[in-house]
Chains A and B, each alone.
Chain A
Amino acid sequence: MSNRNKMNRGRIQAQGIGCQESESWTQDNVPTKNDGITFENALKGKLTKKEIQDRQSCFLKFERFINKAPKNGYDDNIKSSFTPYPPIRDVRVDVEIIKGRAFKD
């Protein structure tokens, strides 16, 4: 089965001021909340200290987003963006659930 046909697809991205790194998932099982934290850390691993520092509050909001997900996870076609307090241009962390569900208990 090609990756595009897998049931659950999505990605988190660190974007803004020259940064564009992402971590994606394509899998048959719905990613759990713990998987979400793993994706987040895999993404952080691709960033410099400064890029992580600029997005510290973005990652905290992303974790809250995961923890507040319904028991069976969020639906697809959800895209959210987490910006720092206060905002700095287009600096952000994006999450996009492209197909299936994500972040179940």
Chain B
Amino acid sequence: MNVLYKETYKNPKILGLNMGYWSRMLKHMKIDNFQHIKVDCPFDSRKDLPLFVCTNGQRSLRIFQYDVYESDNYEKYAYITAWKDICHYKDCEFQELVVCLLLTKEYTQKVKELIKCWFKQEDQKVDCIIDEIYSLQKVNAKK
């Protein structure tokens, strides 16, 4: 399993590249009124905060990335999950999609598809993709 940006939480340079990667990906999706919300915090608390947060004024997205060095037996288990939630930002309430993953090619493809459907408000597809993600986790239940 090839994990991208492995050193994200060890090296601020890699963290920056990783954030840039998500920013670029979201920009390519050409989401109307796209706004990146920056989370201000010290480098050593980064791994407990979202890596990337954005909104289009109606819906928002929070992305967390597992630290490969803490992820127990990451080659054996599925380190990807997602859910829908509600969040508050500057006194407004948003519907939000939350994604937590280890950054691999396979998971990134799945998440890209999920994010596209989320901002297009294709909620049935969103639910289907989340179910697909949960079915990848069957192996996790055996832990």
Q: Measuring CB to CB, which residues of chain A are less than 8 angstroms from any residue of chain B? A: 16, 61-62, 64-65, 68-70, 74-75, 77-83, 85-90, 92, 94, 96, 98
Task: Using C-beta atoms within 8 Å of the partner chain, give the interface range for chain B.
Answer: 35 or more
Residue picked from A16, A68, A78, A82, most chain B C-beta under 10 Å: A68
Chain B 16-46 residues near chain A, CB threshold 8 A: 37, 39-42, 44-45
A61 touches B48 (CB 8 A): yes
A83 touches B70 (CB 8 A): no
Closest to B140 in A: A86
B41 touches A90 (CB 8 A): no
Minimum CB–CB distance for B66 against chain A, Å: 8
Q: A64-B48, A69-B45, A85-B72 are in contact. List 11 more A-B contacts (CB 8 A).
A: A70-B42, A77-B37, A83-B100, A86-B74, A86-B79, A86-B137, A87-B81, A87-B140, A88-B140, A89-B134, A90-B82
- Cβ of B64 within 8 Å of any chain A Cβ, yes or no, is yes
Q: In the complex, A88→B138 CA distance in Å?
A: 9
Closest to B45 in A: A68
Q: In the complex, A62→B73 CA distance in Å?
A: 21
A74-B41, A96-B87 are known contacts. Are A80 and B48 too (CB-CB below 8 A)?
yes
Minimum CB–CB distance for B42 against chain A, Å: 6
Q: Which residues of B contact A82 (CB under 8 A)?
A: 48
List of 10 A-B pairs having minimum Cβ-Cβ separation, nearest first: A86-B77, A87-B81, A68-B45, A90-B83, A65-B48, A86-B140, A85-B72, A83-B100, A89-B134, A80-B49
A69-B45, A86-B143, A89-B137 are known contacts. Are A96 and B88 too (CB-CB below 8 A)?
yes
- B42-85 vs A, CB cutoff 8 Å, 1 = contact: the mask equals 10110011100000000000101010001111100111111101
A81 touches B143 (CB 8 A): no
B45 touches A16 (CB 8 A): no
B50 touches A77 (CB 8 A): no
Q: In the complex, A36→B100 CA distance in Å?
A: 24
A87 touches B87 (CB 8 A): no
Mind listing 6 A-B residue pairs with CB under 8 Å?
A65-B45, A69-B45, A70-B42, A80-B64, A85-B66, A94-B85
A75-B40, A81-B64, A88-B141 are known contacts. Are A68 and B70 too (CB-CB below 8 A)?
no
